[in-house]
Each structure stands twice: as structure tokens, then as C-alpha cells.
Structure 1
Amino acid sequence: MKKTLVSLFTAIVFFAAAVSAYAHFGMLIPETSIVSPAKKTIEMELSFAHPFEMHGMDLVKPKKFSVYHDGKETDLLSTLKQNKFLDHSAFTTSYKFNRPGMYTFYMEPTPYPEPAEDNYIVHYTKTIVSAFDEGEDWKKPLGVKTEIVPLTRPWGNYAGNVFQGIVLLDGKPAPYTRVEVELYNKDSKLKAPHECMVTQEVLCDGNGVFTFACPKPGWWGFAALNDADYKIEGKSVELGAILWIQMFSY
């Protein structure tokens, strides 16, 4: 009996370690990145997860959730509805597009304590949506703590296209930042040939620019990671600049 309990405990610890090894991603996923006049209202899900392996974590109510359009920010925090994603706390909302243009949805989460890494995680998450085939300000930063500013238009791209972005930290390019990349494996149909291929990694160049070719259609998440210049309860803080883009098949 004692050996069985030890074996069970070892298995649980191994599983927890394996799950914590996957990349964390703040997730802000709308139905589509291209909105047409025929369907002006779309649903969105906000969550925190390992998107390829589909392991969820609890997302408490964000500190901030808003949309930027035509140089103006609109607070959407009150529109969030509690939901479940992968059996963990998450949120949903809907948004109606009344005018053409580019809409940047932004989430700043409550800091997430990660016991496996003995730190806190804060992922500043963006998703950009084009309404009615309009929007030219996709390369304009929001001016938040850290973010990925696209150098490739972040919608209307085919799978296989190269995507480029520049990582900003405190408004300045962050050279040689490590960027983790994962596909939102929504239906869990894809299996990585090797565990190391679950999360792809690229490094920014000396100007804070990274390049990645997305081989499959679907939603791709980019997480540019840096250490904060402050601590929470004496623990280090991982700052993530998260950007989600949608790739389409022919």
C-alpha cells in the first residue's frame, strides 16, 4: 500500500511538472479576425492556458479589458461573463462593430502566481480585428507596459505566410527577447512529433524584431517574455507581451 501511494504521488508530481513545462498564454480569441457587415456581432473568449496541449489554468477577472478604435479606448470590463474553459475559470463577451476600421482588443490580467516557477505571471494580451475590410493603424503601439507591434498586417494572412513583429518594453524595442509561439489546437486534433515541438521559440534581433512562418491555419499566439523591474511579494514577475493572429487556408 505504501509503495502504491508513493508511486501515485510520484506520478502526480511528474504530471504537474510536465504541465508546468508547457508555455503559458493569455488568450483573447474572437470568432474571427475579419468582420463583415453581414455579421456585425461576434463572440470572444478570454482565458489562460497552454493552447496547443489544451491544458487550462484559472483566469480571475482581469484588471483591464478594453478595445481601441480610431484613437479612442473603450472600457469593456463590465461586459465580461464568467465561463469555463478547459474546466477552469474563464470569461466570454460579445462585441458589435458599428463602424469600419481596426479594433484592438486588450486584456491586462490580475497577476497569476505560478508555484512551479516560484514567480508571478502577467500577460498583456492583444488581438486585432478588421471590421468591413478597413483599418490602417495596425502598426501603432497602444503604449502599454509591454506589447508586440505587428510589422506584418495581423489579419488576412494565409497559413505559411511569414509574420514579423517588434517587441516593446516600456515603449522601447526589447532586443534579443525570447518569443514563444503556439497554435491554438482547438479541437485537439494535432499531435506534436516531439515534446520540444509543442512550443516553438524564436529570438528577437538587436532591434527587437522577430520573424516566424505559421505553417497551419488557425489562431497563433506569440508570447514575448521579459523579467519585470519589480517584484510581487518578494517574487520575480514574468512579463508577457501576447499577440494572437489568425491564419487562413486557401
Structure 2
Amino acid sequence: MRKQIVPVMTILLILAFSSSAFAHFGMLIPEDSIIKPEKKKTELLLSFSHPFELAGMNLVKPKKFSVFYDGKETDLLPALKKTKVMDHDSFKTEYKFKRPGMYTFFMEPVPYPEPAEDNYIIHYTKTVVSAFNEGEDWNKSLGVKTEIVPLTRPWGNYAGNVFQGIVLLDGKPAPFTRVEVELYNKDGKFEAPYECMVTQEVLCDENGVFTFACPKAGWWGFAALNDADYKIKGKDVELGAVLWIEMLPYKKK
């Protein structure tokens, strides 16, 4: 009997660690990526999860949450309210748009300790919303620690479109950065044929540019990962530049 217990325990441990090894994503998801004039507002959900598998993790109140508009940054941290996303601690807020244009929402979380990888994770997360179908300068950097700067307009895209971005680390292109990609499987209606297909992966080229075609409508997350040049409590730190974009289906007449 004792010889049988060891393999069973080994399998359970492997399963436990493999389930926690799916890609992490900071999530910053509005109701819509394009705001119609008659609506003028959206709710935003801030969370931390494995978005395709719908496995949530607790998010403590972020270190920073703001919106960039017309070259100015506005602090939105006081407006956050506690909520649950995927049954885990998360935050939400409602934002009202007063003027047309492009609004970039940004979250810097408190470093997340990940026992399975024996490190800390910091995902600098952003999403771009077009108010009243307007917006320019969508390829401008925010100047944060690490980010994905779009080379494709980050809203108003059809499912199946190619998306390109450039990964910046400390304001400079980060060549050959690994970018993890996942669909927010919000309704849980999709299943990956193989475990390796839960998270897609692409590499940046020598100029820090990556390319990915999104095959389904919905919200897609891109997480460009690099190691920090510092440690927290003696442990390595994973820096993630995360960008969320919405791909839309064609409308039938």
C-alpha cells in the first residue's frame, strides 16, 4: 500500500503546480472599448487571474490606478470599490466620459508573491477606450516602467485582425521579449484542445515588436514578460507589460 501512495501524491503535486503555472494576467476590463454618445459611461473591473481558465487570484488595492487623457493623468484610486471577480477579491469603478477622445486606463499593482514560481509578479496593466468613436495618438507611450505601445489601433478591430505592439522596458524597446496571449473566456464556453493552447506565446523581434492574430471576438490580453534588475525580499521579480484589447465581430444586417 505504501508504494502506491507515493505515486498518487506525486501526481497530486504535479497537478497542483501545473494548475498554478498557467499564465497570470493583470486584468483591466471595461464594459466596452468604444463608448457611444448616448451612454457616456462604463464600468471597469480590476482583477488578477488566469483569464482563459477563469481561475482568479486575490487582488489587493492597487498601488496606482489612473486614466490618461489629452496628455494629462488623473488619479482614480479613490474611486475604487471592492468587488468579486472569479470569486476572488477585486475592484470596480464607474467612469463618465465628458469629452470625445482616447482614454488610457492604467493600473500598477502591489507586488504579488507567487509561491509556485518563488518570485514576485508586478503587472503594469492598461486598456484603451475610445469615447464617442474618437481618439488619436494611440501609439504614444505612457512613460511607465514597462508597457506595450500599440502599433495597431487598440480599439475598433475585427476578430481575426492582426495586432502589433512594441514592448518597452524603462522606455526602451525590449528585443526578443516573450509575450503571453490569452482570451478572456468570460462565459466559459471555450475549451483548449491541449493544455499548451490555453496560453499562446509569441516573441518580439530584435526591435521589440510582436505580431498576433486574434481568431475570436472578445477581450484579448497580451503580457510581455521581463525580469526586473532588482529583487524583493531576496526573490526575483517578474515585470509584466499587460495590454487588453477588444476584438469585435461583424454585425449582420
Tell me the distance in 2 between the aligned counterparts of 1:96 and 1:177.
Answer: 36
Is 1:57 the equivalent of 2:57? yes
Task: Give the match for residue 73 of structure 1.
Answer: 73
The correspondence of residues 141-180 of structure 1 with structure 2, limited to 5 A, is 141-180=141-180
Deviation of the 1:18 alpha carbon: 1.9
1:52-107 CA-partner distances (Å, limit 9, x unpaired): 01111111000000000000000000111111111211111110001001000000
SS in 2 for 1:37: coil
**Unpaired runs of at least 5, structure 1:** none
After TM superposition, the structure 1 stretch with the greater mean CA deviation from structure 2, 5-14 or 82-91, is: 5-14
Q: Which residue of 2 aligns with 1:228?
A: 228
User: How many Å apart are 1:192 and its aligned residue?
Assistant: 0.5
* Structure 2 letter corresponding to 1:143: G
1:46 alignment counterpart: 46
CA distance in 2, matches of 1:3, 1:121: 38
The 5 A counterparts of 1:1-250 are: 10=10, 12-250=12-250
1:97-154: CA deviation from partner (whole Å, max 9, x where unpaired)? 0100100000000000000000000000000000011110210000000000000000
The CA distance in 2 between the partners of 1:81 and 1:194, in whole Å, is 37
Aligned sequence identity (%):
76
Q: Which secondary structure does the structure 2 equivalent of 1:59 belong to?
A: coil
Q: Distance in 1 between matches of 2:28 and 2:2?
A: 45
| TM superposition shift of 1:9 | 5.3
Counterpart Cα distance in 2 of 1:90 and 1:7: 37
CA offsets 1:214-240 (integer angstroms, 9 cap, x no match): 000000000000000000000000000
RMSD of aligned Cα (Å): 1.6
Distance 1:3 1:71 in 2: 66
| Distance in 2, Cα, partners of 1:4 & 1:34 | 57
Conservation of the 8 A alpha-carbon contact between 1:227 and 1:237: yes
Displacement over 6 Å in runs of 4+: 1-8
Residues 20-54 of structure 1 show CA distances to partners (whole Å, capped at 9, x for unaligned) of 22000000000010001111111111000000011
One-letter amino acid of the counterpart of residue 183, structure 2: L
TM-score by length of 2: 0.95
Q: What is the Cα deviation at residue 14 of structure 1?
A: 3.2
Question: Normalization by structure 1: what TM-score?
Answer: 0.96
